[in-house]
Amino acid sequence: MNRLIKNPFLHCLIIGLLVAVFSQWIPQQTTIFLHHSEITALQKELSESVNGRPVEFNRSAQLLAEQEILFLEAKQSGFDKVDSVILRLANIAEFLQLADAEQSLDEKYQAALAMNLDETDIIVRRQMISIYQAALRNSTPTIIPSDQAINDWYQQHHRSFIDAPKYAFSHVYLAEDQTQSDSPVSSNLLEKLRSELSSNANSEANISAAIALGDVFYGGHHFNLQSQYSIAKRFGQSFANQLENLSLQQWSESMSSAFGQHFVWLHEKRNAGLKPLADVKQQIINTLNREAKQRHYHDTINKLKKNYRLIIEDEQGNQSALTLTGLKNSND
């Protein structure tokens, strides 16, 4: 018995059996091969898209590998059999005369598969990847976050919920040929506005009389409460900034815009303030759900990457391995 236990052949046999058993438990990795020229082509394309800033070679390789993984997983999940993909491949098969026009949709589809068009057609690949990505994101059930989670988000991101200051005003307009703020026309108009049309000036009659002293502004002379951003889009940022310092119920001095000069009567001003939680609660819930879906998506992709290894082949045919890194939750 001791001689049998010490037998080297028996040791090798036991080790071989253990390796065979454990190899069944360890998932086999699929190898992705990328050529150096593929990666440098994407590297150049990415650099051009960011105004010539350099893009790392390894980052470009990772992106190509991720796309290949998504495609392979999409195919394994059966997304090469969705209607849009079948129709696309069938049409290509007919166009390339791989199948006759009289043949059925399935026959044309099979003809395309026989030529590996599902792997080589870039539009089909993109369709499959896009559908698979959407399926991954939508596989996360929508949840209702707790009140505590909603409140925590509200407190941590309160700056996102600040309501910008808003202004309601009317204005008298002088066209571009009278744009000098210290011109006699401008000075006389301001004097007339303040001396003759300031008493009870907030009445519609006096506002209309004041506006009639200037030129027609085709963008309108009366503006209800609007944010500074909206006003800047219409009149320019400089004009919008000046509203902050105006007094209520009083004609301003001449204010410049891209159109000319304006004398502004500020009807109402609402200062910036934090929106109530009740007003933004649904927005926060939507954001938390969107982030949960994104985390699930990235976690799934990172798990899938463990089933793959990446080999890069250079121009001389030399091969090197590159470790597949996980996706960050802040990126897609």
Over the stretch 140-196, which tens digit does the pLDDT of each residue have?
A: 878 889 999 999 999 999 888 988 899 999 999 988 655 555 555 667 777 777 776
Which residues does residue 261 pair with via DSSP β-bridges, in sequence order? 174, 256
Q: What are phi and psi of 164, to 5 degrees?
A: -65, 155
For strands 308-313 and 30-35, give the pairing: parallel
Q: How many CB atoms lie within 10 A of CB 128?
A: 26
Each residue's pLDDT tens digit, 271-325: 888 889 999 999 999 999 999 888 888 999 999 999 999 999 888 888 888 888 7
Could you tell me if 266 and 169 are in contact, meaning their C-beta atoms sit under 8 angstroms apart?
Answer: yes
Q: Mean pLDDT over all residues of the chain?
A: 84
Mean pLDDT lowest for which of 10-19, 57-66, 276-285? 10-19
Q: Which CATH fold would you assign to the domain 165-271?
A: Chitinase A; domain 3 (3.10.50)
Q: Where are the domains of the chain?
A: 30-141+299-322, 165-271
How many residues in the chain?
332
Mean pLDDT of the 32-56 span: 90
Could you tell me if 43 and 60 are in contact, meaning their C-beta atoms sit under 8 angstroms apart?
Answer: yes
Mean pLDDT of the 209-236 span: 92
Mean pLDDT lowest for which of 23-32, 66-75, 323-332? 323-332
For strands 162-163 and 319-322, give the pairing: unpaired
CA distance 59 to 64: 9
